[in-house]
Amino acid sequence: MDKLSKQQHARYLLARAGFGATPAELEEATHKPLRKVVRQLLRDSASFTELRVVEPDENRTKQALKKLARDGQLDREMLKERIRMNTEKVRDLNLQWLDQMASGRGTLREKMALFWHGHFACRTMGQNPLLMQQYVNTIRKHALGRFSDLLMAVSKEPAMLQFLNNQQNRKNAPNENFAREVMELFTLGRGNYSEFDIKEAARAFTGWQFTPDGQFVFRERVHDEGEKTIFAKTGPFKGEDVIAMLLENRQTARFITGKIYQFFVTDNPTTASETGKRIDQLAANFYESGYDVAGLLERIFTADWFYETSNVGTHIKSPVELLAGMRHTLGLTFEQPQTQIFVQRTLGQLLFYPPNVAGWPGGKNWIDSSSLLFRMQLPNYVLKAVDVTVRPKEDGDVNTQLLARKGGQKFQVRVDWKGFETAFANIPDDRLTDAIASTLLPFPLKADQRLLIDRQMSVIQDRSGRIHALTAALMSLPEYQLT
């Protein structure tokens, strides 16, 4: 491998396994064997700190607030105010997580947690910040651990039980939603279970509930203690038994591995038998390892095929990846963090508000005429303070209106230009365009692209200005949407 391709491989790895690199990080990674860079990524993600926007004892659910209002302990204005504060806490949780993603600390953990957020899609019902805080910390905590632990933990999360209506799943009044999604979306995938399995599994999950203060609880009196027949086994099963059966089934490993492959390797997995075999092999290892996620990722990131040119540049960044990546690469912070909610809404990925239980579809679905234009304008909004005239839609829910309304006429940001520029200090002027391009884009610039961009730069004499302008221009290219 020559120097250039080594750098491109490192850039590709850091973009896929994390949220991109600063020029300095890239420089460092380029001088190491990729295997070591992968190890380093895993090591850097070993520790875990909780996100925290609300203390458990100060949280009041919407329901509890309404009860206080009914009992005369809150007047109507206070009630509205408290519900609004809950919505704002969910927003703050979103921003805190985004900060964490952009910081570059534990980047693989956060990237994987973002994957799990789409996989275990869950929305805040009733604007309860405590439940969302517990949920996100659970997927972050187990992100790189064993999928078996994650599945059990997230299935017992109050936010999930609430979202999938398991609170309404009772002996004599079954609600199958939870059982269905656990099989269809979390483990086996469609077509690998019967309607009968779902009906019976739903009975096993009766009693899985939570308390108003956000604790999982098994309520024996609503649990159906009778015999159930699930996947041709019969017994007085409980929820834990169903989860164990699902993990025992190799199809779970195949389904999860396939989704992880799609997320980290390519948006467009071909039906080619080679890819199929590759995923089968990874799935077998994943299963044998007891669902070790970190091991699976290490295997992917160190495989030669991961770096094949047919994979490079196939992934369209999700809005959150775009935002976190731009922030990280430039050391950028928003003066008004709320701006980032505006960007997420406009581009169609608001953390904690996935479109439905199936999560964000991803890939080409991110791009249409308006989202592409907005994405290409984003560097100008951010780096050149160009007026923003776009307005995202409201979602119909009176409680989330405040997330929709506040945006920004102008984005005000701070950029760590000094750090960014230093990395290019030794690059001669005539190589500057390519040098910056190779840190930002998945492919080398084509000759005519370079010509067009350089022509625009010709009026700029001073080096800093040139670097800033080149960065904005290169980030405006469609290729910047890809990793």
Partner 1 sequence: MNRRDFIKQSALTTAGTMLIPHFLKAYETQAMGQAAGSNGKILVIVQLSGGNDGLNTVVPFRNDIYYRERPTIAIRPEKVLTLNDEIGLHPAMTPLKALYDDGLVTVINNVGYPNPDRSHFRSMDIWQTASDSNQYLRTGWVGRYLDAACDGKEGQPFKTIEVDDTLSLALKGNDLNGMAVLDPKKLYDQTRNGLITKSSHEYHDGHESVSYLYKTLAETVSSAEYMFDKTKIQRSAGNYPNHELGNRLKTVSGLIQSGIDTRVYYISISGFDTHINQPGQQERLLGQYAEAVSAFMNDLKTTGRQNDVLLMTFSEFGRRVKQNASNGTDHGTANNVFLIGGGLPSRRVLNEAPALTNLTDGDLTYTVDFRQIYATLLRDYLGADDVAILGRRFDSLKIV
115-154 residues in contact with partner 1 (CB under 8 A) are 123, 125
d(CA 256, CA 248): 13
CA dihedral 64, 69, 73, 78 (to 10 degrees): 100
Is the CB of 106 or the CB of 348 nearer to partner 1? Answer: 348
For residue 274, give every residue at least 6 positions away whose Cβ sits within 8 Å of its Cβ, in sequence order, or none.
none
Where in 240-279 is the site for partner 1 (CB under 8 A)?
267-268
By CB under 8 A, name the one of 364, 406, 414, 431 that touches partner 1: 364
373 part of the interface to partner 1, by CB under 8 A = yes
371 part of the interface to partner 1, by CB under 8 A = yes
d(CA 260, CA 322): 19
Alpha-carbon distances of 179 from 4, 183, 282, 388, rounded to whole Å: 50, 6, 27, 44
Candidates 202-210, 229-237, 300-308, 468-476; binding stretch for partner 1 (CB under 8 A): 468-476
Residue with tokens 């651990």: 145
Alpha-carbon distances of 420 from 17, 23, 149, rounded to whole Å: 21, 6, 40
307 part of the interface to partner 1, by CB under 8 A = no
CB of 248 to partner 1, least distance (A): 26
Where in 176-235 is the site for partner 1 (CB under 8 A)?
180
CB of 462 to partner 1, least distance (A): 5
Judged on CB neighbours under 10 Å (0-12, 13-18, 19+), 462 is exposed
Q: How many residues bind partner 1 (CB under 8 A)?
A: 71
Is the CB of 46 or the CB of 451 nearer to partner 1? Answer: 451
Is the CB of 290 or the CB of 361 nearer to partner 1? Answer: 361
Q: Which two tokens stand for residue 106?
A: 């534990």
DSSP assignment string, 287-351: HHTTSBHHHHHHHHHTSGGGG-TTTTT-PBPPHHHHHHHHHHHHT-EESSTTHHHHHHHHHT--T
For residue 332, which phi and psi values (nearest 5 degrees)? -100, 135
Is the CB of 116 or the CB of 237 nearer to partner 1? Answer: 116
CB of 20 to partner 1, least distance (A): 17
CB of 341 to partner 1, least distance (A): 14
Candidates 243-251, 277-285, 333-341, 449-457; binding stretch for partner 1 (CB under 8 A): 449-457
291: left (phi over 0), alpha (psi -120 to 50) or beta: left
By CB under 8 A, name the one of 64, 372, 402, 432 that touches partner 1: 372
CB of 289 to partner 1, least distance (A): 31
Nearest CA to 439 out of 33, 10, 17 is that of 10
For the window 66-105, what string marks contact with partner 1 as x by the rule CB under 8 A? ----x-----x---x-------------------------
Where in 376-435 is the site for partner 1 (CB under 8 A)?
376-377, 380, 383-386, 389-398, 401
Is the CB of 8 or the CB of 45 nearer to partner 1? Answer: 8
CB of 189 to partner 1, least distance (A): 13
Name residue 81's amino acid.
Answer: E
Is the CB of 19 or the CB of 353 nearer to partner 1? Answer: 353
By CB under 8 A, name the one of 174, 313, 337, 408 that touches partner 1: 313
By CB under 8 A, name the one of 2, 58, 430, 462 that touches partner 1: 462
User: Max Cα separation, the chain?
Assistant: 80
For residue 29, give every residue at least 6 positions away whose Cβ sits within 8 Å of its Cβ, in sequence order, or none.
10, 13, 14, 21, 37
Where in 332-361 is the site for partner 1 (CB under 8 A)?
346, 348, 353, 355-358, 361
Q: Which two tokens stand for residue 327?
A: 């922030």
CB of 49 to partner 1, least distance (A): 31
Is the CB of 241 or the CB of 395 nearer to partner 1? Answer: 395
Is the CB of 296 or the CB of 330 nearer to partner 1? Answer: 330
